[in-house]
Amino acid sequence: TILMALPLSLGGALLPLIVTDTSFSLPAVIGLLMLMGVVTKNSILLVEYAIMARRGGMARFDALVDACHKRARPIIMTTIAMGCGMLPAALSISGGDGSFRQPMAIVVIGGLLTSTFLSLLVIPVIF
């Protein structure tokens, strides 16, 4: 269930590379690895909370709705913080040779935006 979020982030990671005509390079692969870690963490937060609620006696549907309500804020805050942190690199305004880090930032920002939205919808459905 937790790993089902990983394919959701790939489309959002690769589409911005195509749109910005940026090559898929080693920094882009590093960005994918970073993205996979954050997406997996978000799914773990959601599923873990739902499992604990189920152990507490909640019905499955109620546990999932409660998990989405209570865990959406930390997940969205992580996405915003990481996206804002990567924005200077994506725009190549981060000093030095920004073009080297640009593919990594583009992959992370695009993947986070799509995976956050989709994981809050799809992961509870799969669970």
Segment-wise mean pLDDT, segments of 10 residues, the chain, 127 residues: 80 86 87 90 90 92 90 91 89 70 89 88 84
CA-based radius of gyration for the chain: 16
| pLDDT value for 77 | 92
| pLDDT value for 24 | 86
Q: Is 23 left (phi over 0), alpha (psi -120 to 50) or beta?
A: beta
The amino acid that residue 62 corresponds to is: D
For the domain made up of 26-126, the CATH class stated in words is: mainly alpha
Q: Within a 13 Å sphere around the CA of 103, how many CA atoms are in the beta-carbon half?
A: 16
| pLDDT value for 4 | 80
| pLDDT value for 20 | 85
| pLDDT value for 109 | 92
